[in-house]
Structure 1
């Protein structure tokens, strides 16, 4: 997190299970930066096929 409250996330994840990235700065309301709904159980195996590059 930067000093102005901006959060940046870059990476990869599998297509299973569901994933979320949230931020909460001080007493502000939490904010969803990224949500992913699962595909199927077979997406858990193999390469990390989902890329994430978010900021907010």
Structure 2
């Protein structure tokens, strides 16, 4: 069985990963803005809450 070199696998995946992370950050920012608008809480409170819920 023939295998691709491992370095080419990582190069292809890195670009896709960066794009996906950028999209997730945009989504996180959008959801944070919506939460601020709907609850009236300050940015630091909303950011802390979201980070505790999703980044633990």
TM-score (norm 1): 0.27
Instruction: Decide which structure has the larger Cα Rg and report it.
Output: 2
TM-score (norm 2): 0.27
Q: Larger % of strand: which?
A: 1
Q: Larger % of helix: which?
A: 2
Structure of higher RCO (CA pairs closer than 8 Å, 6+ residues apart)? 1
